């Protein structure tokens, strides 16, 4: 009994240490004080000022667009790659998994520098121009998040009954139809997890963005600014804009809602998959 209480206290302590800074930030998003720790009265002024700040809104729009586009591409490539490796020979599958793991444990600065050197080489000797733009930034984000999508989808493929695909082919389905109607629904939780993870990595990234960005998106002819690069630029000149406290609060609440919805979806899906087995066992 004592061990159980101590274990629960330890878990709650860890959770408190993890979320206390976020809760403090949320609390001070409802005051206009410049410094966190000073309270000048409850107010929604930071949220009003947030949506009037064109610079932050532009950076937010760039960040969201890059995250959605790169996450979609990474999910498509990572899912097809995981499926192809799963149905390939064991030697090829092990090689792909090893290459993927190297990319995951590799330092992000190495990825950023490697991409920068490659883009400079291509721009200097192939295209004869500066090629840094939205496309180089997109390639960088896809390169960063692709291995994580692959790793999220692979366990679901291993948990799937391999005879399902063969049974669909034997029943007359084409390979494409068997893939979309049988395999993809079985691994959908892994695909969804990989998509959300890719979005998180893109939203959170600074190093790859700083090294590979150029002009484009909502910034037009100017260099693309994301939330991470904007905050870094603001820190060089002075304190972080107070409106960022309101923005981080909104982002945190959106993430909480998304996690709850995904958890509910997976729980309902697990219940549906367990019902046929229970009914056959009862009969």
Q: Mean pLDDT of successive 10-residue segments in the chain (283 residues)?
A: 86 90 89 83 89 91 94 94 86 85 87 94 91 94 93 89 81 84 87 91 92 89 91 85 90 88 80 58 41
Structure tokens at 67: 């995250």
H-type helices in the chain, by residue range? 2-27, 45-52, 54-86, 90-105, 108-121, 134-159, 163-170, 175-178, 184-204, 207-212, 227-237, 243-282
Instruction: Give the count of beta carbons closer than 10 Å to the beta carbon of residue 155.
Output: 14
As a whole number of Å, the CA-based R_g of the chain is 23
Instruction: Give the count of beta carbons closer than 10 Å to the beta carbon of residue 118.
Output: 13
CA distance 169 to 232: 54
Q: How far is CA 58 from CA 200, 214, 249, in A?
A: 19, 15, 18
CA distance 64 to 71: 10
Give pLDDT, residue 276. 54
Query: By CB neighbour count within 10 A (0-12 exposed, 13-18 middle, 19+ buried), where does 9 fall?
Result: exposed
Instruction: Give the count of beta carbons closer than 10 Å to the beta carbon of residue 148.
Output: 20
Structure tokens at 27: 């609390």
Instruction: Give the count of beta carbons closer than 10 Å to the beta carbon of residue 41.
Output: 9
> What single DSSP character describes residue 215?
B
Give pLDDT, residue 278. 43
């Amino acid at each position: 009994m004592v061990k159980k209480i101590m274990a629960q206290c330890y878990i709650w302590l860890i959770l408190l240490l993890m979320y206390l800074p976020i809760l403090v930030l949320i609390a001070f998003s409802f005051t206009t004080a410049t410094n966190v720790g000073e309270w000048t009265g409850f107010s929604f002024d930071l949220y009003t000022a947030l949506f009037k700040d064109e610079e932050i809104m532009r950076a937010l729009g760039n960040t969201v667009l890059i995250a959605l586009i790169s996450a979609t591409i990474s999910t498509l490539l990572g899912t097809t790659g995981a499926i192809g490796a799963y149905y390939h020979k064991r030697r090829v599958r092990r090689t792909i998994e090893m290459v993927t793991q190297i990319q995951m444990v590799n330092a992000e600065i190495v990825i950023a520098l490697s991409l920068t050197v490659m883009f400079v080489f291509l721009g200097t000797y192939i295209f004869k121009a500066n090629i840094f733009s939205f496309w180089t930034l997109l390639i960088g984000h896809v390169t960063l998040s692709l291995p994580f999508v692959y790793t999220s989808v692979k366990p679901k493929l291993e948990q799937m009954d391999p005879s399902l695909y063969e049974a669909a082919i034997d029943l007359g389905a084409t390979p494409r139809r068997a893939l979309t109607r049988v395999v993809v629904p079985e691994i959908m939780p892994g695909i969804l997890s990989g998509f959300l993870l890719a979005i998180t990595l893109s939203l959170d990234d600074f190093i790859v963005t700083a090294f590979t960005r150029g002009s484009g998106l909502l910034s037009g002819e100017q260099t693309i600014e994301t939330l991470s690069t904007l905050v870094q630029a603001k820190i060089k000149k002075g304190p972080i804009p107070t409106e960022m406290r309101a923005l981080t609060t909104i982002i945190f609440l959106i993430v909480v809602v998304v996690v709850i919805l995904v958890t509910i979806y997976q729980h309902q899906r697990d219940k549906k998959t367990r019902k046929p087995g229970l009914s056959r066992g009862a009969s």
